Chain A
Amino acid sequence: MAVELDDLTEAERKALAQCRHAVLGIERPLRLDCGVDLGPYRVAYQTYGTLNPDKSNAVLICHALTLDQFVAEQHPVTGKEGWWESLVGPGKVIDPAHYFVICVNVLGGCMGTTGPLAREPASGAPWNLRFPVVTVGDMVRAQAALLDHLGIPDLFCVIGGSMGGMQVLEWAASYPARVFSAVPIACAARHSAQNIAFHEVGRQAIMADPEWKGGDYRLHQTAPARGLAVARMTAHITYLSEQALQRKFGRALQDRNALGFGFDADFQVESYLRYQGASFVDRFDANSYLYITRAMDYFDLAGAHGGVLANAFRGTPTRYCLMSFTSDWLFPTRESREIVHALNAAAANVSFVEVESDKGHDAFLLEEPEMFRTLAGFLKGAGTVRGLKDVS
C-alpha cells in the first residue's frame, strides 16, 4: 500500500527528492503513547557511508527540534550546509568511511516524515491538528521500526543534542540491547518548567496568528508566518547566552546613526531576530512546530520509570558520554549532572564533560574543539571495545 505522496509541501517534495524514505506500519501500526495506532506512516531519513558486513558500525544521529535528516550535505530547501557538517563527513570525527550514519526526520516533523501535514489514511483528509500528539518515545519507536526495516540489529552509537539528546536517552532506556554507546549532548532527562513556558509562548504566538485558522491554514491557502516567526524569535533567544548576544550586538544600531524614535528595528539584535524569524517560516511548518515542542514538553524519563531516573538505566550495558556547555541556560550543566548521578546509581559506564563555551545552547551545533576531541576519544574507546577496525 502506497502512502499518498501527492499533496506534499514544496519543502517536503524537495526533501524527499534528496533523501531516502520508507513506509512503515502497514501490517502493524505504531502504537503511540497517546493510545492512537498510527499506520501506515512515512519515515524520511538520510544515510552516509556503508553498513559493514558485521552490521556493527551504524551510528544514529538524532536531530533537534527544528533540524532534520540533512546532517552533512547542502540542505534541499535552505541551500545551507548540513547542520552538523563540521562533525560528520570525510576526515571529520564521524567519518562515513568508518561509520554507517543514519539520521531520521522525527515523527511529527515536516521534512518528509509523517506529521500534521500528512493525510489521515482513513479519511484522506489532512491531519492538521487532528494528528495525534506524539512523544519522544514515539519518535524513537518509529526510528527503531526503521532499523528493523533496514535489517540493522543494533547501533554502535546514538548521538544527539537538545531534543536529539532526549531521543538518545530514550533509545538507551527503551532499547538497551540495541545501543552500544550513547552520546546525549546539552539535554535533560525531563523538560523543565521554564523550558515548557518558553515553548508555550511560541505555541501561543502561532495560535494567535489569525492566519493559523485552527490549524487548517493549508485548506485556506495561507500560513501563520507572523506567529511562527515570533515563536522562532523567542526560542532563538533561549539558544544563545547573554554574553554571546552582548558580544555580537551590544547596543549597536542597525543601518542608522541615531535612535529612530519608532518601532523599526533600531538595534542590530532586533534586526537579527527578525531575520531569524522570517527565514525560519520558509523551511518549517507551524503545526509541526506545535507538535514537536509538545513532544519535548512531555519528555520525562524518570516519570516514565516510577519517578526514579536510575530505574530507566538499571543494568544498562551501554557506554555513555554526556556533554554540556557552561553558558547553556536552556539545558544547564546541572541537568546533565542529574543524568550522570542516575547512571552512576545504575553503575553504568559513563563519561561526562562540561565544555567551556560562551555560545549558549547553540554551542552543540558550532565548532567546539573540546566537544570534538571528547567525541573523537569516546568513539575511539568505544570502537576498540566494539572491535571496529580502522576507526581512528
Chain B
Amino acid sequence: MNAAIRVDLQLIADMVNPTTRALDVGCGDGALLAYLVNFKRVDARGMELSQAGVNACVANGLSVIQGDADADLRDYPDDAFDYVILSQTLQATREPREVLRQMLRVGKRAIVSFPNFAHWQVRLRLVFGGRMPETPSLPFKWYDTPNIHLCSIDDFRALCRDMGVRIERAIVLDRASKPINLPPLLANLLGEQAVFMLRRD
C-alpha cells in the first residue's frame, strides 16, 4: 500500500472526513480513490471516461464504472454521497455549470480542482507571446486540448455566487502544488490551480 499521492490529490483527500461516502468523477488511475479507501475508510466510488483506466481500477479492487461527468451524474439519486469530487476535469466538461449543479445534487458537498487560466504565465504567453498558452498544468496545443471550458479562479467564484453555492474552503496552489495564502486579486494572478469545497446554500 503506497501512501504517497500527488500533492493536489492529498489536499483533496485531507478535506474528506473518514468513513463517509464519496464519488470521484474522472478518477483516472484511482490513486485518490485507493487512498480514501485504504487510509480513511471511505466508501469511495469512481467514474472514469477511459475504459482502460476503469479496468485498471477495478483490477485493483476499487469500485469504478465507465462514464463521464456530463452524461452520467444524472443517474444518481439526491444526496447519494457526502462528497462528489471532480479533480482537474471541470474544464473538460461540456456543461460545467450543469455538472456542478449535478454534483451538488448528488453530493452534500462538492470538491472541485481546476487549473487557473488567469495565472501570470498564461497571461504573459497570450498577451506578449500572442500564442495560446501552454503551461505545466495546461500542456496541450490549442487543437488537441480536452480543455474546452477554461476559467480563472475569479471566474469560478463568480459562478458559485451566481449559482448560490456556498464556498466552504478555497485553497490556491502555486507551481509546486503548495498552498499559498494571498488576497483574492493576487491569488488569481499567482495561483496555478485551485481546490474548492462547495455546498448547497
The residues of B that contact A349 with a CB separation of less than 8 Å are 43, 45, 63
In the bound complex, what is the Cα–Cα distance between A330 and B76 (angstroms)? 28
Determine if A373 is an interface residue (Cβ-Cβ < 8 Å).
yes
A351/B62 contact (C-beta < 8 A), A370-B55, A374-B55 known: yes
Q: What is the size category of the interface that chain B forms with chain A?
A: 20 to 34
Interface locus among A21-29, A65-73, A285-293, A377-385: A377-385
Over the window 68-81 of chain B, the binary record of Cβ atoms lying under 8 Å from chain A Cβ atoms (1 yes, 0 no) is: 00001001110011
Given contacts A319-B63, A349-B45, A352-B65, contact A378 B76 (CB under 8 A): no
Instruction: Choose one: A347, A374, A381; the contact of B76 (CB below 8 Å).
Output: A347
B76 contacts which chain A residues (CB < 8 A)? 344-345, 347
Is the pair A345, B55 in contact by a Cβ cutoff of 8 Å?
no
Neighbouring A residues of B77 by C-beta, 8 Å = 345-347
Give the CA-CA distance A377 to B61 in the complex, in Å. 4
Residue A341 at the B interface, CB < 8 A? yes
B59 contacts A377, C-beta separation under 8 Å: yes
Query: Which B residues lie within 8 Å of A352 (CB)?
Result: 54, 64-66
A196 to B79, CA, bound (A): 39
Residues of B within 8 A of A345 (CB): 75-77
CA distance A194 to B65 in the complex (A): 27
Q: Is the beta-carbon distance between B61 and A384 smaller than 8 angstroms?
A: yes
Report the Cα distance A17→B51, complex, angstroms.
45
Question: Smallest Cβ distance from B155 to chain A, in angstroms?
Answer: 30
CB within 8 Å for A344 and B75 given contacts A353-B55, A353-B58 = yes
The A-contacting residues of B in range 23-75, CB under 8 angstroms, are 43, 45, 51, 54-55, 57-66, 72, 75
A residues 117-172 near B (Cβ < 8 Å) are none
Q: Which of A290-336 contact B (CB under 8 A)?
A: 319, 321
Contact of B75 among A341, A353, A355, A384 (CB under 8 A): A341
Q: Which residue of B lies closest to A321 (CB)?
A: B58
> Quick check: is A235 within 8 A (CB to CB) of the other chain?
no
Q: Could you tell me the distance between the alpha carbons of A340 and B72 in the complex, rounded to whole angstroms?
A: 10
The answer to whether the Cβ of A245 comes within 8 Å of any Cβ in the partner chain is no
Question: Closest CB-CB distance, A380 to chain B, in whole Å?
Answer: 5
Interface of chain A residues 344 through 392 with chain B (CB within 8 A): 344-347, 349-356, 370, 373-374, 376-378, 380-382, 384
Residues of A within 8 A of B72 (CB): 341, 344
- Residues of B within 8 Å of A356, CB to CB, are 51
In this complex, which of A353, A355, A356, A376 has the most chain B Cβ atoms within 10 angstroms of its Cβ?
A353
Listed by A's residue number, 7 A-B pairs whose Cβ atoms lie within 8 Å are A321-B58, A341-B75, A351-B57, A351-B62, A352-B64, A374-B58, A377-B62
Given A347-B76, A347-B80; 14 other pairs, CB 8 A cutoff? A340-B65, A344-B65, A344-B76, A346-B77, A350-B63, A351-B54, A352-B66, A353-B55, A354-B66, A373-B55, A377-B58, A378-B58, A378-B61, A381-B63
Q: Give the B-binding residues of A (Cβ under 8 A).
A: 319, 321, 340-341, 344-347, 349-356, 370, 373-374, 376-378, 380-382, 384
The 9 A-B pairs at the shortest CB distance, nearest first, are namely A381-B61, A377-B59, A347-B80, A344-B75, A352-B65, A373-B59, A351-B58, A377-B61, A380-B61
